Chain A
Amino acid sequence: MSRSNTDHLGRPVVVVTGMGVVSSLGTGKSENWKNLTAGKSGIHSITRFSTEGLRTTVAGTVDFMNIEPMSAPALTFALASSATGEAIDEAGFSGKDFPGPLFLAAPPVELEWHHRGEIYAQDIDGNEVGYAKLLKAAREKKRQDMFELIQFSRTADLLAEKHKTKGLPISLSTACASGTTAIQMGVEAIRRGECTTALCVGTDGSVQTESLIRFSLLSALTTQNDEPEKAAKPFSKDRDGFVMAEGAGALVLESLESAEARGAEILAIVRGCGEKADDFHRTRSSPDGSPVIAAVQHGLDDAGLDSSEISYINAHGTSTPENDRMEYNSLKAVFGDQIHQIPISSNKSMIGHALTAAGAIEAVFSVLTIREGVIPPTINYTNPDPDIPLDVVPDVSRKAEVNNVLSNSFGFGGQNACLVLGRA
């Protein structure tokens, strides 16, 4: 059966032809999927740096990339590079120049304490203190590697140069919705006819002392350190915060026409994207949920689907008291009582919250859910929150025919973005 190359609004249909992933559960789709559907947790006690005296000592760090010397930007690039390589291989572009632009969701970078500490100790006897001392030391000794490491464009520069993507790569941040935004921007570029392929990547390797403490000071993190693998418990009554994590997800997007013309395997269709900014508070969502409701509705409208056509929801599900309640209330507003029949699970119960990368990783897992006909569980669901009566696919994965997935991502700064992914 031949299908239309354009969607319900006359735009090019956008499909996924390659995917790659790294998380605390492992490298690559195969290892991740095996662990994810087995309900395995990648959360563990932090060993990367001293957690002496800290309220939170667990995270979903990725400790198997062999980065030397270790820094957040170096790990962030290594994660992105791994996931991107896998996606490009699958799409059939390995060894070739990638024929489209790069949209990269990456965390903000800055000098870390050990970087500044090294500079600060350069001239121990000098009279200056504070930044005057740091600037004087920098003036006296050039550190080109350190300069390059903290350029905000660096990860995208390196990826673009490695895969010879087209044009000026875009590095973006919409906080914890960034990975979703990267995909959305790829979809939009293809729909505009600017390109027929786009490389969309979300990456985050920024679990370090200060970032952990900063989130901790905002009371955003769990303090359930004793059994790390049980710390992330979305939709449970005793959830008390998210678990910071690392990883990367990469997707090759392509117009259906281009994919079919070159005989590429079509993994899924990106049916629609929705977003809506919130003006209520810097870290909290509008109490009435209206921006999240609007983002979900925009995603469904963009996809040309009715809410009854969604067969599974990949939740943002961070395991903070506020997010999970807000997400439920907002979904209920869109789906009505039907929401209680739709399976919804949170990958974060196992991989933690990979922040900038989360949306891209969860998009990869959403496509795998469709293709494999298995819904990954929400683990650690031993104490359900009675105010969130959802079918969270508790603890054990479930076989199911999944045609359309809604994947949610919300972030600080009023960021709300949703994807609707469908069976090819």
Chain B
Amino acid sequence: MTSNNEVWITGIGLISSLGEGGDAHWQTLTSPSPAQPVINSETTAPYSFHPLIEPDWATQISRRDKRQMEPWMQIGSYAAGLALDDAGMKGDEELCSTMDMIVAAGGGERDIETDGAIHEDALHSSDPDTLLNERLSNDLRPTLFLAQLSNLLAGNISIVHKVTGSSRTFMGEESAGISAIQTAAARIASGQSDHILVGGAYNSARPDMMLTFELGHYLWNKAPTGVAARAKSGNGGIILGSVGIFLVLESRQHAEARGKTAYAKIDAVAADHGSRSEGEAIKRGQALRNGLEVSSDIPTLSAATSIADIYGEEMQVLGDNSPIRCYGNQFGHSVEAQFPLGIALAALALSNNGFYPPFEQGEREAASSSDKILVSCFGHWRGEGLAVISNHKAEG
């Protein structure tokens, strides 16, 4: 069954600190007056984050369903609805009930107030173990558990949007997003599936998640500045961002049969993993890039987090000839969602026959438009992935 179907991107659902919808993001990011990132530096000072816009939730999620979710699931379910709308599949029972789904997810939000109160009381308790048992039994909301299970974003999308062909959740920070896109594209290309909903979501306004990064001193705790600027300042540091991103991938035949055109197609996804000893990620990244056979000046969207070492190695792999856009400048870092976000941004640029203006001082102007865009994601700790997205109308 070595089929080789074209993998079309026929739906984009995107919500972030910058707005809602693919076209709105394209307009904002390419407007003549450069878009300013939206950053909150107060709520969780000294850490900054890119907060989600406040959407009209009821357009995608009923009040009843929304109450069953914590914010990251709401963000993801909302974006999934936007993607289904955009692909013309929303509410189509036949298409949704046979649709496959891959979600890149981390963990859900904890109950911040309960955690803090229990820790405070435990400090002054003579029997902290029994205190913990009592307090958790009484203070945890049963539904919170469900809001913390990684696969319950997918579960909620099934409930809210009736996507029930299959449901798989990938975990593992940035790698989860890379594998989700890679697996979804491989399933379409091979004929194992003909339409898939794939994506992820991240809620950045979360001190509990910030804590997991800060344990390893991965967060930026000074005044916000650009990705490259941070990477060149000491060890660098991440600024998190809220993003919900889902794509509808479809085989060309499946899309054409229902009269649907595409934004772009996914030509290839390559990914690897291994030690981050000095130079190792460069070797792996160059091998991945060589396998993709892209030109040395291909416009590139980078998910760079601004952690200094890996930022430097990624930039070496991407080379000096390409116009590179570190889209974390505009969106912040959305971890599992960051690679799917890059795929969406590439598809939007290709469908508009353009590219993005520099997001940070030092990013070079693009010489001319291109039929291909490279998306690069070197995870802050592990995992490297590259994808080539191309104009599906272009020859060859």
Query: Is A276 touching B166 in the complex (CB atoms < 8 A)?
Result: yes
Query: Is A111 touching B123 in the complex (CB atoms < 8 A)?
Result: no
Given A171-B172, A194-B186, the answer on whether A130 and B120 have CB atoms closer than 8 Å is yes
B162 interfacial by beta-carbon distance below 8 Å: yes
Query: Is A50 touching B130 in the complex (CB atoms < 8 A)?
Result: yes
Query: Is B151 touching A214 in the complex (CB atoms < 8 A)?
Result: no
* Contact with B130, one of A9, A52, A111, A131 (Cβ below 8 angstroms): A52
Query: Is B173 touching A192 in the complex (CB atoms < 8 A)?
Result: no
Q: How far is the CA of A192 from the CA of B133 in the complex (A)?
A: 49
Closest to B207 in A: A131
Q: How many Å from the CB of B387 to the closest CB on chain A?
A: 12
How many pairs of residues, A versus B, come closer than 8 Å at their CB atoms?
A: 259
Give the residues in chain A near B145, CB-CB below 8 Å: 214-215, 217-218
Binary interface encoding of chain B residues 174-217 relative to chain A, with 1 for a CB under 8 A from any of its CBs, else 0: 01101100110011001010000000000000011011111111
Contact residues of A between 378 and 422, Cβ < 8 Å to B: 411-415
Query: Is A278 touching B158 in the complex (CB atoms < 8 A)?
Result: yes
B134 interfacial by beta-carbon distance below 8 Å: yes
Q: How many Å from the CB of A209 to the closest CB on chain B?
A: 6
* Contact with B146, one of A119, A124, A412 (Cβ below 8 angstroms): A412
* Contact with A153, one of B1, B149, B171, B208 (Cβ below 8 angstroms): B171
Query: Is B173 touching A174 in the complex (CB atoms < 8 A)?
Result: no
* Segment of A162-170, A249-257, A369-377 in the binding face: A162-170
How many positions in chain B have a CB within 8 Å of any CB in the partner chain?
89
Contact residues of A between 164 and 197, Cβ < 8 Å to B: 167-175, 181, 185, 188-189, 191-194
Query: Is A175 touching B129 in the complex (CB atoms < 8 A)?
Result: no
Q: Which 8 A-B pairs have the closest CB atoms?
A: A130-B116, A413-B155, A153-B172, A147-B216, A131-B207, A168-B271, A277-B167, A214-B145
Q: How far is the CA of A130 from the CA of B384 in the complex (A)?
A: 35
Binary interface encoding of chain B residues 152-167 relative to chain A, with 1 for a CB under 8 A from any of its CBs, else 0: 1011101100111111
B340 interfacial by beta-carbon distance below 8 Å: no
Binary interface encoding of chain B residues 101-120 relative to chain A, with 1 for a CB under 8 A from any of its CBs, else 0: 10001110010110111111
Query: Is A108 touching B273 in the complex (CB atoms < 8 A)?
Result: no
* Segment of A72-80, A239-247, A279-287 in the binding face: A279-287
Query: Is A168 touching B178 in the complex (CB atoms < 8 A)?
Result: yes
Query: Is B151 touching A411 in the complex (CB atoms < 8 A)?
Result: yes
Q: How far is the CA of A147 from the CA of B159 in the complex (A)?
A: 34
Give the residues in chain A near B186, CB-CB below 8 Å: 189, 192, 194
B368 interfacial by beta-carbon distance below 8 Å: no
Q: How far is the CA of A52 from the CA of B128 in the complex (A)?
A: 11
Q: How far is the CA of A282 from the CA of B146 in the complex (A)?
A: 8
Q: How far is the CA of A161 from the CA of B122 in the complex (A)?
A: 39
Q: How many Å from the CB of B40 to the closest CB on chain A?
A: 15
Given A50-B133, A147-B216, the answer on whether A276 and B115 have CB atoms closer than 8 Å is no
Give the residues in chain B near A218, CB-CB below 8 Å: 142, 145-146
* Contact with B132, one of A150, A170, A188, A209 (Cβ below 8 angstroms): A209
Query: Is B211 touching A173 in the complex (CB atoms < 8 A)?
Result: no
Query: Is B211 touching A213 in the complex (CB atoms < 8 A)?
Result: no
Q: How many Å from the CB of B272 to the closest CB on chain A?
A: 6
Query: Is A147 touching B212 in the complex (CB atoms < 8 A)?
Result: yes
Q: How far is the CA of A135 from the CA of B119 in the complex (A)?
A: 14
Give the residues in chain B near A106, CB-CB below 8 Å: 171
* Contact with A135, one of B154, B156, B207 (Cβ below 8 angstroms): B207
Q: How far is the CA of A186 from the CA of B189 in the complex (A)?
A: 17
Give the residues in chain A near B221, CB-CB below 8 Å: 139
Query: Is B171 touching A172 in the complex (CB atoms < 8 A)?
Result: yes
B362 interfacial by beta-carbon distance below 8 Å: no
Most B CB contacts (10 A, CB to CB) among A106, A172, A185 go to A172
Query: Is B183 touching A170 in the complex (CB atoms < 8 A)?
Result: yes
Give the residues in chain B near A283, CB-CB below 8 Å: 146
Q: How many Å from the CB of B276 to the closest CB on chain A?
A: 10
Give the residues in chain A near B207, CB-CB below 8 Å: 131-132, 134-135
Given A172-B170, A172-B171, A213-B137, the answer on whether A130 and B115 have CB atoms closer than 8 Å is yes
Closest to A165 in B: B273
Query: Is B136 touching A174 in the complex (CB atoms < 8 A)?
Result: no
A204 interfacial by beta-carbon distance below 8 Å: no
Query: Is B134 touching A276 in the complex (CB atoms < 8 A)?
Result: no
Query: Is B273 touching A277 in the complex (CB atoms < 8 A)?
Result: no
Q: How many Å from the CB of B102 to the closest CB on chain A?
A: 9
A117 interfacial by beta-carbon distance below 8 Å: yes
Q: How many Å from the CB of A326 to the closest CB on chain B?
A: 17
